[in-house]
Amino acid sequence: MSEKDEKIKSLVDMGFSEDEANMAITRCGVDVDLWELVDSLGAPRITEDSHSRNISDHQSKKKRNRYGGRAQGNQPSLDGSHDEPMPLPNPMVGFNLPGYLQPSVTRILPKQDTGPPFFYYENVAQAPKGVWATISRFLYDIQPEFVDSKHLCATARKRGYIHNLPIENRSPLLPVPPKTIFEAFPHYKKWWPSWDLRTQLNCLRTNIASAKLTERIGRALASSDSPPARSVQKYVMNECRKGNLVWIGKNKVAPLEPEEMEYLLGFPKDHTRGLGITERYKSLGNTFQVDTVAYHLSVLKVMFPNGVNVLSLFTGIGGGEVALHRLGIHMKAVVSVEIGKANKRIFRGWWDQTQTGTLIEIDDVKSLTDDRIVSFVSRFGGFDLVIGGSPCNNLAGCNRYNRDGLEGEQSALFYHYFRILNAVKSAMARM
């Protein structure tokens, strides 16, 4: 397959039409990174009217079949490959956004799917074909809520969330975070060239631009006119967009500092401090955008005035817990399952400094057996929230070599989320 065909295929797999894929390649050239092409197109086309959507899937037999309805009591099929790609909404604003006069989305979940336990599952929005349809089928056919965090803060992060939380009467975290680069970091105005038209940053990644690259950009600019020729501008802008580079001097760009990423993602300053720099970028690249998740979780505050018991799967650096804390929701107990030593250290450090509840740490979702779940359920009187985003290593677009979908070694950990959630539900049903 030629490089062009390969890129067209990847874009089509993400839900774009072949015409759109061709158009992006004509516009940006075949050599650019796949994500440049995706950015140039925005989110994949929506095939239904997002303004009059009614997402009570369970009332719509047609839709249920389309996403692979299942007979009562059957295990959903593992194979999502025959599903149509789930359409990603454009704009990617979820069911509603703070302060927007939004499409009035209503959803009615069947009694057996409503909480407690409430659950909240997250993963990358732009996953290979069939992945979200499969995840949705496992999670009781609930329609994902796709949100690009750029609608809530200054940086993009396109994620899908499947949850059974009410979607009315949400409230945003205060203070509302800055929505543009200059609101977040006014000092960068000084060196920002007029031809860099970015107002927001792209998704913060787990790896950052090398010093070699930023030097190369500096040299290209130093040997150019002012303003530089369009071809130089195009090269520089491509790299700046891809690496979220900012202007720190004349002709001088640099990646964001970890504390700037912490700020954009809604974490306290120095949350990840103490880790090596590579680890910090990695953990921050994988974490929740706190304002986004907090907006969805905000409905728990009135429901649980005395606090919540949380089962936190794939805790990472604790984006979910930071969101609950910033909402003023007390965590009576958190059972946290996280395998990364560095992440555990960060999370435990934050917990000890800010929380008074009980923290139980488990290393691996695979070792959280049904028996252990039963004993936690009886010890804490059940869980109010089961939260987690399983690894996206085999789903995310930047993984070109090993993008084997939900059955990939890391991404298949989703099935543990499903298994554990079901075990909690059955243990709680027997209480």
Cα 403 to Cα 20: distance, rounded to the nearest angstrom: 22
Structure tokens at 164: 């059974």
Give the DSSP H or E segment for 218: helix 211-222
* Widest Cα–Cα separation across the chain: 74
30 binds ligand SAH (CB under 6 A): no
Cα 422 to Cα 207: distance, rounded to the nearest angstrom: 35
**Residue from 18, 48, 79, 364 in contact with ligand SAH (CB under 6 A):** 364
Q: Are 335 and 312 in contact, with CB atoms under 8 Å apart?
A: yes
Q: Of residues 255-294, which lie at the interface with ligand SAH (CB under 6 A)?
A: 286-288
In angstroms, how far is CA 9 from the centroid of its own chain? 24
Q: Give the nearest distance from C-beta 289 to ligand SAH in angstroms.
A: 9
46 binds ligand SAH (CB under 6 A): no
Token pair 């158009």 in the structure block, residue:
23
Q: Which residues of 151-162 are buried (b: 16+ CB within 10 A; e: fewer)?
A: bbbbbbbbbbbb
| Torsions phi, psi for 308 (to 5 deg) | -130, 155
Token pair 């690496």 in the structure block, residue:
243
Task: State the catalytic residue, choosing from 153, 203, 240, 392.
Answer: 392
Structure tokens at 323: 């969101």
Helices vs. strands in the chain: H and E counts, helices first:
16, 9
**Residue from 295, 314, 376, 417 in contact with ligand SAH (CB under 6 A):** 314
Residue closest to ligand SAH, measured at CB = 316
Q: Give the nearest distance from C-beta 391 to ligand SAH in angstroms.
A: 4
38: closest CA among 202, 197, 254, 199? 202
**Residue from 76, 130, 255, 340 in contact with ligand SAH (CB under 6 A):** 340
Verify whether residue 392 is a known catalytic residue: yes
The number of residues that bind ligand SAH (CB under 6 A) is 19
Binding track, positions 371-390, relative to ligand SAH; x by CB under 6 A: ------------------x-
Q: Which stretch binds ligand SAH (CB under 6 A): 89-97, 148-156, 300-308, 313-321?
A: 313-321
Q: Give the nearest distance from C-beta 416 to ligand SAH in angstroms.
A: 7
Q: Which stretch binds ligand SAH (CB under 6 A): 47-55, 56-64, 221-229, 316-324?
A: 316-324
Q: Give the nearest distance from C-beta 316 to ligand SAH in angstroms.
A: 2
Q: Give the nearest distance from C-beta 170 to ligand SAH in angstroms.
A: 19
248 binds ligand SAH (CB under 6 A): no
Token pair 């539900």 in the structure block, residue:
425
The footprint of ligand SAH (CB under 6 A) covers 286-288, 314, 316-317, 319-320, 337-340, 343, 364-366, 389, 391, 413
Annotated catalytic residues are 392
